[in-house]
Amino acid sequence: MKIILIAALASNRVIGINNTLPWKLSADLKRFKALTTGHTIVMGRKTFESLGRPLPGRRHICVSRSYASDHLLPDPRWPEQVFWCGDLFSALKHLKREIGATNEIPIFVIGGAEIYTQALPLADALELTHIQSSFEGDAFFPSYAKMFEKTDEKFLEEGEQKFSFAQYKSLRPENIFVRRASKNDVQFIANAQIKMALESEGLKLNPQKVEAGVMAVLNDVLKGEYLVAEDMSSQSHCPVGCLLLQKEWSDWRNGTFLWIHSLYVEPSHRRKGICHWMLTVAQEQARTLGALGMRLYVDKGNRDAQEAYRNFGMGGGHYDVFELEF
Ligand SMILES: NC(=O)c1ccc[n+]([C@@H]2O[C@H](COP(=O)([O-])OP(=O)(O)OC[C@H]3O[C@@H](n4cnc5c(N)ncnc54)[C@H](OP(=O)(O)O)[C@@H]3O)[C@@H](O)[C@H]2O)c1
């Protein structure tokens, strides 16, 4: 299965306003129809509502958190054509099992903003229509430049509008999906932190305390957000890495820095680009949020981690961390 995100975006990355498209571009609609007809299309609840009715010749997988199920449930109005699922990642996993991991059959993720943001690190390719002027809007395509490589672009015009059709391929390590953590990941993340503390600082953490600490984050998005890297190559789809993102307000800069904590990759999966990819995903999420940059601290003796962060382009900075523990 090949996951392709298809979107039209303005030069300021606007994709929508008031749950509609801000422009009329018939060449783009024709291209969308030509690429997606005969295939499965995946979308968020709001995008499905903006369509108003299912599009002919395509199977629709719509996601809404109001569905408590991880399975695909037929919509009673269009039981053959429209299916609902309570979780985007579960819906994609289900399709991967059904279609098969190795073949090239595409499924198209068609938006909107919330769904593109989550699906971007899972995508194999992008089909983007770049509209070369800016538009007013309230929905934006996420930042993606470091995660993809452009493979083709054709420039066109329709009336006053200049635009291009561009194709991109993902730079992610093969079979590695980075996604938001869910409560099912608590054990993996807690164990990862226990192993990391032992490995990097020789510290033995209290498992119950760490588990409660991880659960506190998973229950309260204001405390932070974990990303989990999952190895999709085996049937069991096991998590192999994680990191924690936390926001810090800077009054000097009148903006937010994103802090990276708790970055861990299982020893069996190191030196495969997973750490670099998780940082890349975090970096693009930071850009999407409009953050000023990313920061982290690392133990002074942890040379491997320091090298990994330098390779990623992060500098040592000029601050020392001072602590007063209670
Ligand atoms: N230019 C383009 O190519 C393009 C394409 C598509 C859409 N758009 C535009 O994008 C805008 C809509 O984007 P949007 O971000 O507001 O909405 P959206 O992404 O279409 O839908 C968001 C909804 O999807 C559900 N959802 C999100 N993440 C989920 C998850 N992980 N698991 C289960 N359900 C999940 C939630 O539904 P519940 O609230 O029901 O839980 C959420 O409210 C519109 O303006 C539309 O016109 C533009």
pLDDT number for residue 321: 87
Distance (angstroms) between ligand 1 centre and the Cα of 272 equals 33
pLDDT number for residue 164: 98
Phi, psi torsion values for 229, nearest 5 degrees: -95, 130
Mutate to test the pocket of ligand 1, among 46, 108, 116 (most ligand atoms within 8 A of CB): 46
Share of the chain above pLDDT 90, in %: 87
pLDDT single digits (tens) 259-309: 999 999 999 999 999 999 999 999 999 999 999 999 999 988 888 889 999
pLDDT number for residue 138: 97
> In which residue are the tokens 């962060």 written?
309
pLDDT number for residue 99: 87
Instruction: Count Cα neighbours of 262 within 13 Å in the Cβ-side half-sphere.
Output: 22
Token pair of 211 as six digits: 């588990």
> How far is 136 from 120, CA to CA, in rounded Å?
23
Distance (angstroms) between ligand 1 centre and the Cα of 74 equals 19
Mean pLDDT over 227-249 rounds to 92
The residue whose C-alpha atom lies closest to atom 34 belonging to ligand 1 is 64
The residue whose C-alpha atom lies closest to atom 40 belonging to ligand 1 is 64
pLDDT number for residue 234: 72
Distance (angstroms) between ligand 1 centre and the Cα of 76 equals 21
pLDDT number for residue 250: 96
pLDDT single digits (tens) 197-206: 999 889 999 9
Residue ranges of domains in the chain, CATH in brackets = 2-170 (3.40.430.10), 176-311 (3.40.630.30)
pLDDT number for residue 319: 84
Mean pLDDT over 114-139 rounds to 97
How many other C-beta atoms are found inside a 10 Å radius of the C-beta of residue 279?
23
Q: Which atom of ligand 1 lies at the shortest distance from residue 138's CA? A: 45
Mean pLDDT over 46-70 rounds to 95
pTM beyond 0.85, yes or no: yes
Q: Which atom of ligand 1 lies at the shortest distance from residue 21's CA? A: 47
Mean pLDDT over 237-242 rounds to 94
pLDDT single digits (tens) 157-205: 999 999 999 999 999 999 999 999 999 999 999 999 999 999 988 999 9
Mutate to test the pocket of ligand 1, among 30, 51, 63 (most ligand atoms within 8 A of CB): 63
112 preceded by cis ω (within 30°)? yes
Distance (angstroms) between ligand 1 centre and the Cα of 187 equals 30
Distance (angstroms) between ligand 1 centre and the Cα of 62 equals 9
Token pair of 163 as six digits: 């635009």
Q: Which atom of ligand 1 lies at the shortest distance from residue 16's CA? A: 45
- Ligand 1 pocket by C-beta < 6 Å: which residues? 7-8, 15-16, 19-21, 43-47, 50, 63-66, 86-88, 110-115, 118, 139
User: Which amino acid, residue 252?
Assistant: W
Higher local confidence (pLDDT), 320 or 107: 107
Q: Which atom of ligand 1 lies at the shortest distance from residue 47's CA? A: 20
Share of the chain above pLDDT 70, in %: 99
CA distances to 249, 257, 291 from 253, rounded to whole Å, are 9, 9, 10
pLDDT of 233 higher than 90: no
Mean pLDDT, rounded, of the chain? 95
pLDDT of 317 higher than 80: no
- Exposed, middle or buried by CB within 10 Å (0-12, 13-18, 19+), for 116? buried
pLDDT of 74 higher than 90: yes
Confidence at 13, pLDDT banded by 50, 70, 90: very high
Going 215 to 220 to 224 to 225, the CA torsion angle's sign is: positive
